[in-house]
Structures are given as C-alpha cells and as structure tokens.
Amino acid sequence: MKFKEYGHEDGSLVIYFHGTPGAITECSLFEKHAKRHKLNIVCFDRFAIDAAIQGKAYYQELCTAIKDIAKGKSLAIIGFSIGCHVAIEVSNLLGAQVKALHLVSAAAPLESGDYLPEMAGGTVFKLAMNYPRLFCALSYWQLLLAKLSPKLLFSMLFSSAQAQDKLLSQQQDFKDYLIPILMSSYATHIHGYLRDVAHYVSPWQDALSTNTSNTYLWHGTEDNWSPIAMATYLASAMNSCMNDIEGASHYSCLFNAAEKICLQLGESS
C-alpha cells in the first residue's frame, strides 16, 4: 500500500489518518514538528485501496499494512475529522500496540446525538444516510468540479467557514495546501472517499466502548463541521483527555494542534 513519511526517518512511529476529503499530503503540516521531536509520521493512501474492500476487511487491510511497518514495535495514531473513525477502528485491531491515540476535530458517530442541524455538512450526510445514490451523484458532480474548477470547489466547501477557519481560507498558502488535497480526494480517489463517508454514516458507536487506547481529543471551540458536542460525547464515551482550542474551527484546530501533539509524543518516546 502506498504511503508517505514525514519527519525523522529513524524517529518513533506515528500513523496519521487524513480526513474525508483528504490525501496523504494533508500530513505535510506535521513535517517540521515531527523532525524537531524525532517522530516518523506515516500516512497511508487509504483511498487507493480497492473499492471492493469494505467494512472490517478495510480496517484489517490498514492494520496489516501498519504491522508490516511497525514490526512489533509500539506506535501512536493521529486521526483528523472523519479519519478519526478509521483511526478508532484500526486502533481497536492493533490493541496494546497503540500507546496513544490523538483525535483532532473528531467526527463522532451520528447515532450518538442530534448533531446534523449544527453541522455545516449536515445535508450531505443526510443524503449519504438516506439517499446514497443521490449522495453518489453529488460526489461525482464534485469530481467534475474538481477537474474543471478546483478553486470554485474550494470556495464552495469553505463558504460556511467560521472563526479561524474563515481567516485561514482567505490565505493563499492554505489554498495551495488544500486544493491539491481536494483534487486527489475527488478527482483521483472518489471511490475511497465514498467508502469512508458510507462507513462513517453507518452505526459504529460500539467501536468506542471496545477501544482501550490512551486517547486525547483536540477540538476547536468554534468548529461547525464537527460541532464541539461531538468531542464532548467522545471524551465521555472513551474516557479521554479533552483539549479545547479556543477560537479554532476545523482545519485551524489541526494547524494549532499539530505542534502540541508532536511535543507530547516526543516527550513520551
């Protein structure tokens, strides 16, 4: 399975699960922090996994790839947004090998609360749950838009941005960072994107009670993509340490948390 490494090649192993939409280059913002704290952060190109591999087989495929790299050594996991769901499922399979699980801007199981009215992407998730064919059609329209006008797709996705995300979305360096990620997710690996969303909107609350990892949550107080109520629920359900990032929203939380997470992982290595 294709993957990309960031940070220190001989450092402590950390597995990063990107968001949905997302791509392996999303993890690049950890590069300088990972080098400083001697971490080797690996991000798998999971959207490229055969679309026929679904459910538990999908998580097992990722688990096997991680074990091939880890070679029995302990590791840490970072998940972002919907990637947190994948991170939780895979950490359950890895068990005691996972020494820490960091969940950033985490999206909680939709069946665990009435979150959709507060979510900027609530309508999309309703489509995915109740009208999967319409959701698929919408996603292929986004694919076409990604190919024809990626800047317009970016503008549409961030039209509801608030707090620090709104400021971030106006910066050219952030656009240069995220637009290729959107291109990869929609225009190159649409089947992987569809699979992750389908898994996320299906019930998976039971995965929380079976997770035994030391879990840390990082969440922006102004997040309207994954409302902070999601993090509050996860903190209770997983007996996790909660870190609020004041004034941050979704991606701005990730940018704020990256250095803090690397510092914490480096100190515990």
Q: What percent of the chain is predicted at pLDDT more than 70?
A: 100
Question: What is the token pair recorded at 132?
Answer: 């999967």
User: Between the CA of residue 88 and those of 30, 97, 196, what are the distances in Å?
Assistant: 20, 13, 13
User: What's the mean pLDDT in 242-265?
Assistant: 97
Q: CB-hemisphere CA count at 13 Å for 261?
A: 36
In this predicted structure, the answer to whether residue 192 has a pLDDT above a threshold of 80 is yes
Taking a C-beta distance cutoff of 8 angstroms, is the pair 237, 209 a contact?
yes
- pLDDT band, very low/low/confident/very high, at 268 (cuts 50, 70, 90): confident
Helical residues (DSSP H) of the chain, grouped into ranges: 31-36, 55-70, 83-94, 122-130, 132-148, 150-157, 163-169, 172-182, 190-201, 206-209, 228-237, 251-268
In this predicted structure, the answer to whether residue 115 has a pLDDT above a threshold of 90 is yes
CATH fold of 3-268, please? Rossmann fold (3.40.50)
Which pLDDT does position 225 carry in this prediction?
A: 96
Bridging pattern class, strands 39-44 and 3-7: antiparallel
In this predicted structure, the answer to whether residue 46 has a pLDDT above a threshold of 90 is yes
In this predicted structure, the answer to whether residue 269 has a pLDDT above a threshold of 90 is no
Q: What is the mean pLDDT of the chain?
A: 96
Which region holds residue 7: left if phi is over 0, alpha if psi is between -120 and 50, else beta?
A: left
Which pLDDT does position 51 carry in this prediction?
A: 93
Q: What is the pTM of this model?
A: 0.97
In this predicted structure, the answer to whether residue 79 has a pLDDT above a threshold of 80 is yes
Domain spans, the chain: 3-268
- pLDDT band, very low/low/confident/very high, at 80 (cuts 50, 70, 90): very high
Q: Per-residue pLDDT tens for 124-175?
A: 999 999 999 999 999 999 999 999 999 999 999 999 999 999 999 999 999 9
Which pLDDT does position 166 carry in this prediction?
A: 96
